[in-house]
Structure 1
Amino acid sequence: MPPRHNAAPGPGPRGGLTPGTLALVVGVFLVQLGFLLSYIGSFHHPDPQGIPVAVAAPRKAAAQLDRLPGDPLAVTVVKNERTARERIRERNAEGGYLMSPRGGRDTLLVASAAGGPQAQALRKVGERVAAEQHRQLSVVDITPSGRQDYESLTAFYLIVGWLVGGYLLASLMGVLAGTRPARPGLGALRLAGTAGYAILSGLGGAIIVDPVLHALPGHFVALWWLGALLVFGTAACTLALEAFLGVVGIGVAVLIFVVLGNPSAGGAFQKHLIPSFWRAIGDWIPTGAGTSAVRNIVYFSGNALGTPLLVLAGWALAGSVLLMLGSLRRREPGLTLPI
């Protein structure tokens, strides 16, 4: 009988530590640190910076408001209270300061529906200015948030819920069917499925905040379709990132939509209260664009909706196009990191 030879050693156990697994663990660790840095960096010291304010006052007094220490306000001189109110409702200003030229009492206009912390910051600045000039100050909230919408936070949480659904759907598709469609037809099928899910997701969110909880009542249809656009765009972009980067694309999506998007969205603290980096990116990420869109729909008669809707549509279009392009690429060995 011929001697038996030991079988050639095969690959290690599937659960063993591989270079790909180590790379993913390091990636997760870096995303975690980025999460901590982004949230704490943006929220640890909210400070008013350049809040747009419409001021009806003598030019000398308006110039003094524009040159306060730390530059908390960005002043635009207007003719009267009516103009100041219009600028706030049209989203061209966040507040208004009305100085009586004859009396000793001034009026500060705020809109807490745009964010409670920002309205509070404006009130503190206004009270300090009035005290320094030995004047009295009355604060008028011309657009308050709803009774069931504390500090106007519902818009932000609604957007976060929709976003989570979008990128979790895309992640699930990647795990079950592969991170990249094998051909364009399958990419189109994924987009079609995503669109159906997005419509149902938008509907579910609108039902929860309107007839169920009455947090944002009276705008059911507009919120439904806004949510559908947001979910579709988030999912499409995550699918596109997966098509080009494999499982790493899921981490990149979390980095964009959560690590960078949430702190800069204007939810807990509005953009004029956070550092310049987050203030610069917030309006261009779906989280911030969506939060602004919800507030403008519900509280500001749909004013200033153009830019947020274009941003959301742009992400949806970019994700769809890139996913289809990704499905055209030849499958190269070694592009997907093993787990």
Structure 2
Amino acid sequence: MASGVTGSRGPGGRRGFLAELKDAVNGRTAMLVIAVLALQLGFIVSYIGALHHPYPYKASIGVVAPPQISPKLVAGLNGLPKQVLDAKPVADQATAVGQIKDQKLYTALVFNPTGTQDTLLVANASGPALATAVTQIVTQVETQQGRTVVVKDVVPLAAGDAEGLSSFYLAVGWCVGGYLVASLLGISAGTRPANAQRAVIRLGALLLYSLAAGLGGAIIAGPILNALPGSIVALWGVGTMVVFGVGAVTMALECFFDVIGIGIAVLLFVILGNPSAGGVFPPPLMPPFWRAIGPWLPNGAGTDLNRSIAYFHGTDVLRPLLVLSAWIVVGVALTMVASIVRPGTGRADLPKPEAAPEPEAALEA
């Protein structure tokens, strides 16, 4: 009776090593392994490239000084090497504090015309690393002028958010859940829904998951760990949008690229999205590429919204809300288009397995 196995055989009927290797590692498997290697190296390049050498670039700083002094002080700060600061005049200290709390400025220098000690207003809630960097730069400038500076934190971090990373890690956790649940749905039920109705069902399941994940994350970061102040309902809404947007786009990528779509999702939301999100270092401390892409990815938009809700009373939220909305619309639209134009072999199309033959019939055969 034929065994149904082809290939050269050695002594005792065993196949040779090369034949076994050829069957075990086919072209598709080799390409997937190479793709994983590329993603791994991309991960290293992205994270180290974004975070290994932070230095400020055009960090916004307001200057409060008398009219006869302000232009020279602004010009001096803007003329520092590497354009580390982006200074502009501000009418008074109250206006400067308001603009920092509205996220229009990162810091502000208040010049004291009657003494030699000035005040630097910072917001550690915008990122302690940036506040520290600007403090060092301004201190050097003041020392060269024979002046000193005292630092005042006008938007401090919560006691449970010592390093200011909770907004970032919350957004990252939501992103991870979004692409993981979409990947699992694709693996278990087919990367492309069998029809439009199945696509709607799958997106509905993702929405329910997103609601649960958003609420769970908001409760953990808020009342359970006391890491983030702010509205639980608002954070819940942000989490739902992040998870659903990431999940829907991952579904769409699977529809068009099969299992390779999962790798593309990892590229977008892990390799590119996490280091550029502005969590570890705010945008002025990141290199140009990561500084440019961060605000337009769900990781960065979610981090910005979490931080705004927790510390800045919901100011400057329009852009990140539009970004998340765009990811949701694109993900849902592409998933629906793919399910209509290129219906897959989801569970609705899978053939039913044949019934096992009776033992007697098997013996007779």
TM-score bracket for this pair, using the shorter chain length: over 0.9
TM-score, with normalisation over the residues of structure 2?
A: 0.87
Question: Quick one: structure 1 residues 209 and 8, their matched pair in 2 at CA, closer, same or farther if it must change by over 3 Å?
Answer: closer
1:287 to 279, 292, 299: 299
1:25 to 18, 23, 33: 33
Whole-angstrom CA distance in 1 between matches of 2:344 and 2:270: 30
Q: Deviations over 1:103-152 (max 9, x none)?
A: 21111110000111111111111111111111010100000110000221
Letter in 1 for 2:196: P
Q: Which residue of 1 aligns with 2:46?
A: 38
Query: Map of 1:118-137 to 2, 5 A cutoff?
Result: 118-137=130-149
Question: Quick one: structure 1 residues 214 and 17, their matched pair in 2 at CA, closer, same or farther if it must change by over 3 Å?
Answer: same
Whether 2:101 is the aligned partner of 1:97: answer: no
SS across alignment from 2:157: coil
Whether 2:229 is the aligned partner of 1:217: answer: yes
Whole-angstrom CA distance in 2 between matches of 1:215 and 1:110: 20
Q: Which protein is bigger by CA-based radius of gyration?
A: 2
Aligned length: 330
> Which ranges of structure 1 fall in alignment gaps of 5 or more residues?
334-339
SS across alignment from 1:124: helix
1:65 to 77, 86, 90: 77
TM-score, with normalisation over the residues of structure 1?
A: 0.93
Greater CA drift, 7-16 or 41-50: 7-16
Whether 2:333 is the aligned partner of 1:321: answer: yes
Whether 2:152 is the aligned partner of 1:140: answer: yes
1:15 CA drift (Å): 7.2
Q: Which residue of 2 aligns with 1:278?
A: 290
Whole-angstrom CA distance in 1 between matches of 2:122 and 2:24: 59
Whole-angstrom CA distance in 2 between matches of 1:91 and 1:6: 72
SS across alignment from 2:97: helix
2:127 to 115, 122, 126: 115
Q: Which residue of 2 aligns with 1:310?
A: 322
1:216 CA drift (Å): 1.1
Greater CA drift, 166-175 or 216-225: 216-225
Q: Which residue of 1 aligns with 2:24?
A: 16
1:253 to 265, 272, 275: 265
Q: Which residue of 1 aligns with 2:61?
A: 53
1:332 CA drift (Å): 8.9
Q: Which residue of 1 aligns with 2:167?
A: 155
Whole-angstrom CA distance in 2 between matches of 1:56 and 1:6: 87
1:62 CA drift (Å): 1.2
Letter in 2 for 1:20: R
SS across alignment from 2:193: coil
SS across alignment from 1:250: helix
Question: Quick one: structure 1 residues 9 and 221, their matched pair in 2 at CA, closer, same or farther if it must change by over 3 Å?
Answer: same
Whole-angstrom CA distance in 1 between matches of 2:289 and 2:204: 36
Question: Quick one: structure 1 residues 128 and 182, their matched pair in 2 at CA, closer, same or farther if it must change by over 3 Å?
Answer: same
Q: Deviations over 1:47-88 (max 9, x none)?
A: 111101111132111110111112110112111111111111
Do the aligned partners of 2:254 and 2:262 also contact (CA within 8 Å) in 1? yes
Q: Deviations over 1:163-195 (max 9, x none)?
A: 111100001001100111121111111110000
Query: Map of 1:158-169 to 2, 5 A cutoff?
Result: 158-169=170-181
Do the aligned partners of 2:230 and 2:309 also contact (CA within 8 Å) in 1? no
Pairwise CA RMSD of aligned residues? 2.0
Whole-angstrom CA distance in 2 between matches of 1:202 and 1:14: 46
1:197 to 209, 225, 234: 209
Do the aligned partners of 2:194 and 2:339 also contact (CA within 8 Å) in 1? yes
Whole-angstrom CA distance in 1 between matches of 2:23 and 2:121: 61
1:225 CA drift (Å): 1.1
Do the aligned partners of 2:242 and 2:324 also contact (CA within 8 Å) in 1? yes
Do the aligned partners of 2:190 and 2:344 also contact (CA within 8 Å) in 1? no
SS across alignment from 1:272: helix
Whole-angstrom CA distance in 1 between matches of 2:327 and 2:2: 59
Do the aligned partners of 2:119 and 2:149 also contact (CA within 8 Å) in 1? yes
Whole-angstrom CA distance in 2 between matches of 1:227 and 1:155: 11
Letter in 1 for 2:213: S
Q: Which residue of 2 aligns with 1:78?
A: 90
